[in-house]
């Protein structure tokens, strides 16, 4: 990569950036970085020997990383005003976006990529879990923390790699996969694409990069351009038997599902998934489908692996489940994801009162999908709506959580600031609670959980 083997990460605490930092640390590179706030992820990186600071300033960059040979990796979330980013620009360092660095690592590997506006993190994590057995291991860069491995990075000596292919900023165009799964292509990231048509076109560009001897596993009904795709194309579905891959005999057993997986190559009966939610049956079908192109011989262990798969942190993540209280945390931040999460809760806990806490993510997403958010949130029995988490964005005049709130049809709804949330929940009769969002709502998981533990 570079003769001095020094890599500096600006925004090192992000889920994708932290996996890259771990990867290069493992491969004996000198690694350091900056992030705006400490977190569990940055704490783990520091414990592994990576130097991290939390104030944007050139004086905080370790001296040995100021050499022009240092490679600097950054995310699109880093503002142009970043002092450290501008220092390295002026210093003449090689700058790489996170996606370009991932593409560099993937260049000489047999890549199984999972793309989609939702479902990709769980599906890619499940696929990586299958391939650790079926393909005798894999390197995997995951968009969440695998509960089986307690990490977002898997390492292997072979050339098989699983990557979550992110459509944001057209990042997935850095990947040239052997096999790709596309789980969904709903309108999103319109701040980048402008229109849904342009976003779908980018998905078409992505699948056109699949190796001609590889395969595309596309969710049935997802409409993206395929005219540039030279590989074989397969469809998958939750339960549509006209698809190439699908499930049948789906049974709900207290929120955990049993089913049969059908593929063009084999059928696996009496599967039971180790993580709850009907949506994960569909994710399992997609993961099994992709794994077939690593080894059809993997059939014999599919049933065992699906049963022992524990899921991903913050993806329909059950924190408390007692007769008095249920608490689930989920990363849902798009109307379709909210709909899937709330519907799954309703299927698991029928006839119980469901309270949802939602933190909208981004001003542009709130503006573009306020109607969709309101429809999905109206599926709850009670809503607590937080302020927008701005992430990389500046405020937009007239855009706030209020525009969602006003459209929600529930009678039992209220706005709440983050600093008042715990107090409000303490004084609310909670039966089943789900917290949802992609911002910093995850910082409340432990405090909320502690409200119910022992009660």
What average pLDDT does this structure show over 174-185?
97
Rounded Cα–Cα distance for residues 232 and 239 (Å): 22
303 shares a domain with 321: no
290-327, pLDDT tens digit by residue? 999 998 777 889 999 999 999 999 889 999 999 899 99
CB 219 within 8 A of CB 286: yes
3-state helix, strand, coil in the chain (%, to 5): 35, 25, 40
pLDDT at 110 over 60: yes
Same domain, 280 and 388: no
Per-residue pLDDT tens digits for 242-256:
999 999 999 998 889
Characterize 377-404 residue by residue with b for buried, 16 or more Cβ atoms within 10 angstroms of its Cβ, and e for exposed.
Answer: bebbebbbbbebbeeebeeeeebbbebb
| Distance from C-alpha of 260 to C-alpha of 291, rounded to nearest angstrom | 16
Contact 117, 277 (CB under 8 A): no
Angstrom distance (rounded) from CA 60 to CA 70? 15
Question: Are 138 and 278 part of one and the same domain?
Answer: yes
Tokens of 318: 């059950």
Q: Tell me, what CATH number does 206's domain have? A: 3.40.1190.10
Buried b (16+ CB within 10 A) or exposed e, 166-176: bbbbbbbbbbb
Nearest to 283 by CA among 337, 232, 329: 337
Does 103 fall in a domain?
A: no
Residues 133 and 196 in one domain: yes
The pLDDT tens digits of the residues spanning 134-164 come to 999 999 999 999 999 999 999 999 999 999 9
**Residues 233/215, Cβ–Cβ less than 8 Å:** yes
pLDDT at 72: 97
241 plus 337 within the same structural domain: no
Strand order across the 94-97 sheet = 51-53, 30-34, 6-10, 71-74, 94-97
Do 309 and 276 touch, CB atoms closer than 8 A?
no
Nearest by Cα to 385 from 341, 430, 427, 416: 416
Mean pLDDT of 162-186: 94
Q: Is residue 57 part of a domain?
A: yes
Other beta carbons less than 10 A from residue 453's beta carbon: 12
Domain count, the chain: 3
Cα–Cα distance measured from residue 157 to residue 138, given in angstroms and rounded to the nearest whole number: 8
Cα separations in angstroms, 392 against 79, 80, 250, 361: 7, 11, 41, 10
* Cα torsion through 365, 368, 373, 376, rounded to 10: -120
Whether residue 46 is found in the same domain as residue 116: no
Element (H, E) at 8: strand 6-10
Q: Are 9 and 21 in contact (CB under 8 A)?
A: yes
pLDDT category of residue 4 using cuts at 50, 70 and 90: low
pTM, entire model: 0.89
User: Is 265 part of a structural domain of the chain?
Assistant: yes
Given the structure tokens 């964005």, which residue do they identify?
393
Name the residue range of residue 20's domain. Answer: 6-98
- Residue 15's Cβ-count burial label (10 Å; 0-12, 13-18, 19+) is middle
Which residues share a beta bridge with 389? 361
Q: Contact, 260 vs 285, CB < 8 A?
A: no
1 found inside a domain: no
Is residue 51 a part of any domain in this protein? yes
Among candidate residues 98, 133, 162, the one where a domain is terminated: 98
Residue 455 has pLDDT above 60, yes or no: no
Q: What is the pLDDT of residue 246?
A: 98
Q: Give the pLDDT band (50/70/90) at residue 417.
A: very high
> Domain check: are 356 and 398 in the same one?
yes
pLDDT of residue 186: 81
* The pLDDT value given to residue 420: 96
Tokens of 425: 């929940």
Tell me how far apart the terminal alpha carbons of the chain are, to the nearest angstrom. Answer: 54
The answer to whether residues 275 and 392 belong to one domain is: no
> What pLDDT shows up at residue 327?
96
Total residue length of the chain: 455
Task: Decide if 113 contacts 181 (C-beta within 8 A).
Answer: yes
The rounded distance, in Å, linking the Cα atoms of 306 and 301 is 9
Over residues 347-367, the pLDDT tens digits come to: 889 889 999 999 999 999 999
Does residue 284 share a domain with residue 221? Answer: yes
* Helix or strand run (H / E) with residue 417: none
Question: Quick check: is 416 in a domain?
Answer: yes
**Tens digits of residue pLDDT in 37-68:** 898 899 999 999 999 999 999 999 999 999 89
Whole-number average pLDDT of the chain: 94
């Amino acid at each position: 990569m570079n003769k001095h083997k020094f890599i500096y990460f600006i925004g090192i605490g992000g889920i994708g950036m932290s996996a890259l930092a771990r990867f290069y640390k493992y491969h004996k590179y000198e690694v350091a970085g900056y992030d705006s706030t400490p977190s569990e992820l940055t704490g783990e990186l520091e414990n592994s020997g990576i130097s991290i600071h939390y104030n944007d300033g050139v004086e905080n960059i370790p001296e040995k990383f100021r050499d022009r040979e240092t490679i600097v990796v950054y995310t699109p979330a880093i503002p142009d005003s970043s002092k450290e980013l501008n220092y390295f620009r002026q210093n003449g360092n090689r700058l790489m976006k996170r996606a370009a660095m991932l593409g560099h690592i993937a260049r000489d590997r047999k890549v199984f990529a999972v793309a989609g506006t939702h479902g990709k993190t769980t599906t890619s994590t499940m696929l990586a879990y299958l391939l650790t057995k079926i393909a005798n291991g894999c390197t995997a860069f995951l968009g969440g923390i695998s509960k089986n491995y307690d990490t977002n990075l898997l390492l292997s000596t072979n050339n098989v790699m699983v990557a979550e292919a992110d459509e944001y900023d057209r990042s997935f165009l850095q990947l040239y996969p052997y096999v790709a799964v596309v789980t969904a292509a709903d309108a999103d990231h319109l701040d980048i694409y402008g229109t849904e048509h342009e976003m779908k076109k980018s998905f078409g560009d992505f699948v056109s990069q699949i190796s001609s001897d590889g395969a595309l596993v596309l969710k049935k009904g997802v409409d993206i351009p395929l005219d540039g795709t030279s590989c074989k194309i397969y469809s998958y579905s939750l339960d549509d038997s006209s698809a190439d891959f699908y499930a049948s005999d789906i049974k709900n057993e207290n929120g955990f599902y049993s089913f049969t997986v059908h593929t063009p190559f084999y059928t696996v009966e009496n599967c039971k998934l180790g993580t709850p939610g009907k949506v994960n049956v569909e994710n399992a079908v997609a993961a099994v489908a992709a794994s077939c192109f690593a080894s059809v011989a993997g059939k014999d262990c599919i049933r065992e692996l699906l049963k022992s798969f524990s899921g991903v942190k913050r993806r329909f993540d059950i924190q408390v489940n007692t007769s008095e209280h249920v608490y689930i945390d989920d990363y849902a931040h798009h109307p379709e994801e909210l709909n899937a999460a709330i519907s799954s809760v309703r299927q698991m806990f029928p006839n119980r009162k469901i309270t949802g806490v939602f933190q909208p993510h981004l001003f542009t997403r709130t503006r573009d999908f306020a109607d969709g958010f309101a429809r999905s949130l109206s599926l709850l029995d009670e809503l607590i709506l937080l302020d927008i988490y701005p992430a990389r964005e500046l405020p937009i005049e007239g855009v706030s959580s209020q525009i969602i709130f006003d459209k929600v049809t529930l009678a039992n709804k209220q706005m709440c600031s983050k600093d008042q949330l715990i107090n409000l929940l303490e004084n609310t009769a909670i039966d089943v609670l789900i917290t949802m969002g992609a911002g910093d709502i995850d910082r409340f998981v432990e405090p909320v959980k502690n409200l119910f533990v022992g009660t």
